[in-house]
C-alpha cells in the first residue's frame, strides 16, 4: 500500500494533476456565466447551444490530430505549452465582446487550445502511471480538475458578490470574471514551463481491434456533457436562480462528484470496466429521463446531481480502458476525445432546439432523448464479453 501511494503521487504525476486543476480553475471560472452572458448579447437558446458545439467541434478536430502526432513524435509538453499560452490571450479577448458572433469566434479558438492541452496531458498520465493503478491515476487527474472547478465556483461567487457590492451591473461583473480567469490562466502558463517532458516511450501493447463500442459511448456521454450550458440557462430561467445561486449549486455538485469519481475508478481497477459501467450508465439513464418530470427545484437538484456524478465518472474509466486495449495509445486517446467532443457538438444543438421548441419542464428533455441512446451503445460494449463467455469450453 505504501509503495502504491508513492507511485500514484510521484512528482511527474503531481505536475500533471496540477495542469488539470489550474486549467479547470481558469476556464471553469467563467463557464457558468457564459450561457447567460451569451443571452445578454443577443443569443437565442439554439445559439447558446451552438456556442458549446463550436467549441467542442474545434476541440474534436485538434484532438485526433494531436493524438496521431504524439504517436509519431512522442512529444507532448510542447502542445500543452502552446495551448495554455494562446488560451490566456483569447480569454482576455472576452473582456471586449459586445456581439454574439465575436463571442462565438473566441469560443472556437478556445476549443483549438483545449484540443492541444487535454489529450496531451491525458497521454502523459497514461505514460507515467502503472497498469495496476492507471484508472486511479486518471481519476486523480479528473478529480484535481474537479477541485479546480470547485474552487472556481467559490471564486466566482466571491467575485459576483464583490462586484454587486460596489454597484457594477451584470455585464460589468461578468467582465471582471473574465479578467480574473485571464490572470489565472497566465499563472498556469508560467507554471507549465517548469514541468518536465515525459521521456517515457509508449510501450507496445497487444494488438487487437480498436475499442469502437467505447468510442460510441464516449460520443453519447459527450452529448450529455455538452448540454451543460442548456441546463444552466434552464435553471436560471425555469427556477429563477441567479448566477450566484447557480455557482453555489455547481459547487455542491462538484463536491458530490469528486468522491464518486474515485470510488468508481477504484472499483474499475479491481472488478473491471464492464461491472463498473453498470454503476454509471443505469443511474445516468434514470436521472436523465426523470429531469423533465420534476417541476420542483429540490427534486430536480437530486436527479441533476446523480446525472452529473454518472457523467463525470465515465471519463477516467473510458480513458484507462482505451489506453490498454490497442497498441496506439495516442490515437486511441485522440479518437476518444474526438468522439466525446463531437458528441458535445451534437448535444447542445439538439438541446437548444428542444429548449426553444418545447414548453415548461420539457425544455430540458434533451437529456432524456440523448440518454436513451446509451442503451444500444452499452449493449454493443457488452456483446463481445457475452459472446466470449458463452464460447468458453464447459467442463464435461
Cβ count near 176 (within 10 Å): 16
Q: Is the pLDDT of residue 274 over 90?
A: no
Nearest-angstrom CA–CA distance, 320 and 304: 26
Q: Is the pLDDT of residue 1 over 60?
A: no
Q: How confident is the model at residue 370 (pLDDT cuts 50, 70, 90)?
A: very high
Q: Smallest Cα–Cα separation from 79: which of 190, 186, 192?
A: 192
Q: Is the pLDDT of residue 204 over 50?
A: no
CATH 1.20.1250.20: does it fit domain 8-385?
yes
Highest mean pLDDT among 149-153, 193-197, 216-220: 216-220
CA distances to 61, 122, 165, 370 from 66, rounded to whole Å, are 9, 12, 45, 28
Nearest-angstrom CA–CA distance, 375 and 242: 35
User: What's the pLDDT score for residue 285?
Assistant: 96
Nearest-angstrom CA–CA distance, 382 and 369: 22
Q: Is the pLDDT of residue 241 over 50?
A: yes
Nearest-angstrom CA–CA distance, 214 and 95: 39
Look at 191-200, 280-289, 301-310 and tell me which has the smallest mean pLDDT: 191-200
**Whole-structure pTM value:** 0.76
Given a contact cutoff of 8 angstroms between Cβ atoms, the answer to whether 338 and 346 are in contact is no
Q: How confident is the model at residue 197 (pLDDT cuts 50, 70, 90)?
A: low
Q: How confident is the model at residue 205 (pLDDT cuts 50, 70, 90)?
A: very low
Q: How many CA atoms lie within 13 A of 280 on its CB side?
A: 30
Q: Is the pLDDT of residue 74 over 80?
A: no
For range 178-196, the mean pLDDT: 86
Q: Is the pLDDT of residue 209 over 90?
A: no
Percent of all residues in the chain with a pLDDT value above 70, rounded to a whole number: 90
Percent of all residues in the chain with a pLDDT value above 90, rounded to a whole number: 38
Q: Which three cell numbers stand for residue 128?
A: 507515467
Nearest-angstrom CA–CA distance, 67 and 338: 10
Q: Which three cell numbers stand for residue 28?
A: 471553469
Q: Is the pLDDT of residue 132 over 80?
A: no
Amino acid at each position: 500500500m505504501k509503495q502504491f501511494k508513492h507511485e500514484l503521487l510521484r512528482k511527474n504525476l503531481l505536475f500533471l494533476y496540477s495542469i488539470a486543476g489550474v486549467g479547470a480553475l481558469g476556464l471553469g471560472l467563467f463557464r457558468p456565466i457564459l450561457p447567460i452572458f451569451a443571452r445578454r448579447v443577443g443569443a437565442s437558446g439554439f445559439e447558446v447551444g451552438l456556442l458549446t458545439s463550436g467549441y467542442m467541434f474545434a476541440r474534436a478536430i485538434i484532438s485526433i490530430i494531436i493524438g496521431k502526432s504524439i504517436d509519431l513524435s512522442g512529444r507532448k509538453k510542447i502542445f500543452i505549452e502552446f495551448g495554455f499560452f494562446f488560451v490566456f490571450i483569447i480569454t482576455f479577448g472576452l473582456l471586449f465582446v459586445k456581439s454574439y458572433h465575436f463571442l462565438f469566434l473566441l469560443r472556437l479558438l478556445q476549443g483549438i487550445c483545449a484540443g492541444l492541452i487535454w489529450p496531451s496531458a491525458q497521454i502523459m498520465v497514461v505514460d507515467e502511471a502503472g497498469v495496476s493503478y492507471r484508472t486511479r491515476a486518471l481519476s486523480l487527474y479528473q478529480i484535481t480538475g474537479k477541485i479546480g472547478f470547485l474552487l472556481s465556483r467559490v471564486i466566482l461567487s466571491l467575485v459576483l458578490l464583490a462586484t454587486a457590492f460596489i454597484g457594477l451591473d451584470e455585464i460589468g461583473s461578468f467582465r471582471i470574471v473574465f479578467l480574473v480567469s485571464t490572470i489565472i490562466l497566465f499563472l498556469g502558463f508560467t507554471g507549465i514551463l517548469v514541468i518536465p517532458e515525459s521521456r517515457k516511450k509508449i510501450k507496445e501493447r497487444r494488438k487487437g481491434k480498436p475499442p469502437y463500442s467505447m468510442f460510441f459511448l464516449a460520443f453519447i456521454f459527450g452529448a450529455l456533457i455538452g448540454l451543460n450550458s442548456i441546463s444552466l440557462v434552464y435553471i436560471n430561467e425555469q427556477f429563477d436562480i441567479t448566477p450566484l445561486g447557480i455557482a453555489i449549486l455547481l459547487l455542491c455538485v462538484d463536491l458530490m462528484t469528486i468522491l464518486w469519481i474515485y470510488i468508481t475508478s477504484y472499483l474499475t481497477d479491481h472488478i473491471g470496466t464492464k461491472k463498473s459501467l453498470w454503476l454509471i450508465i443505469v443511474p445516468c439513464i434514470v436521472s436523465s429521463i426523470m429531469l423533465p418530470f420534476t417541476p420542483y427545484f429540490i427534486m430536480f437538484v437530486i436527479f441533476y446531481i446523480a446525472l452529473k456524478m454518472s457523467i463525470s465518472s465515465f471519463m477516467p474509466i473510458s480513458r484507462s480502458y482505451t489506453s490498454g486495449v490497442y497498441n496506439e495509445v495516442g490515437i486511441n486517446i485522440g479518437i476518444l476525445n474526438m468522439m466525446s467532443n463531437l458528441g458535445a457538438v451534437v448535444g447542445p444543438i439538439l438541446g437548444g432546439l428542444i429548449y426553444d421548441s418545447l414548453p415548461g419542464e420539457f425544455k430540458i428533455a434533451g437529456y432524456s432523448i440523448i440518454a436513451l441512446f446509451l442503451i444500444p451503445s452499452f449493449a454493443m460494449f457488452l456483446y463481445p464479453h457475452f459472446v466470449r463467455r458463452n464460447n468458453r469450453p464447459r467442463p464435461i
